[in-house]
Amino acid sequence: MRDIDSIVITDANFFLREPRGDIFIFPFGKINTKILNHLFKTLRTFYAGLNYQIGIKVEKSLLLDEAYKTGEFYDSDYFIGVLNFINALRNNPEKINIGITEVGVFNGEIDHPRFGVGNHRGGIISTYRFKLEKDSKEKLKERVGKEAIKVLSFAYGLRHCQKEECLLSYHPTVESLDRSLRLCKGCKREFTAAILEYHCL
């Protein structure tokens, strides 16, 4: 994958092109190419593990708009609003857009940046708190992959699991995310059914 160039959201010609795929990854600002590659592979492997073939595409990066910055961090509504706007431009409301950024992202509590925030049809992943840990690059990629699955689950309408060992449980700390290795049987069953219904497979 080549290094990505930044574009402005008002470049309507780009967004009006007929998209190919079902899941679209949008970097906000500059994101390391290895992280993007890992995110792409994680999602592809996840769907393959559920016996589904879902198209996944990494798009060009979007410039961050500092008008939506509060203190050090950005409101999650800004990212989700941009991703929903892209779907509206493309007239593809059922496509799922996942954003990823290095900046801190808050949802409600301004001084508490989140790993990720999702809702119906998409969400945003932030590597900000992962990078504060100063662990290995492999650990960073692992955490991004896990958070991507969680954000994706919200896009399909799932909620946090009450089982701490499940990947879809609430993770207030990096350590709690590290301890969750996989989906529990119940969430895997719900995830599979949600994908089938959403994409009409």
> Residue 87's pLDDT is what?
84
Over residues 118-171, the pLDDT tens digits come to 887 889 999 999 999 888 889 999 999 999 999 999 999 999 999 999 999 999
- Orientation angle between helical segments 33-49 and 137-155, nearest 10 degrees: 50
Strand partners, 163: none
Average pLDDT score over residue span 70-77: 91
**φ, ψ for residue 185 (rounded to 5)?**
-60, -40
In percent, the amount of the chain with pLDDT more than 90 equals 58
Instruction: Please report, for the chain, the start and end positions of each structural domain, with discontinuous segments joined by +.
Output: 6-199
Say yes or no to pLDDT of 8 above 50: no
Distance CA 100, CA 39 (A): 9
* Domain range 6-199, CATH class: alpha beta
Please state the pTM of the whole predicted model: 0.86
Check pLDDT > 50 for residue 45.
yes
Q: Alpha-carbon torsion 57, 60, 61, 62, what sign?
A: negative
pLDDT higher than threshold 70 for residue 201: no
Residue 106 has pLDDT above 80, yes or no: yes
Average pLDDT over residues 174-192: 93
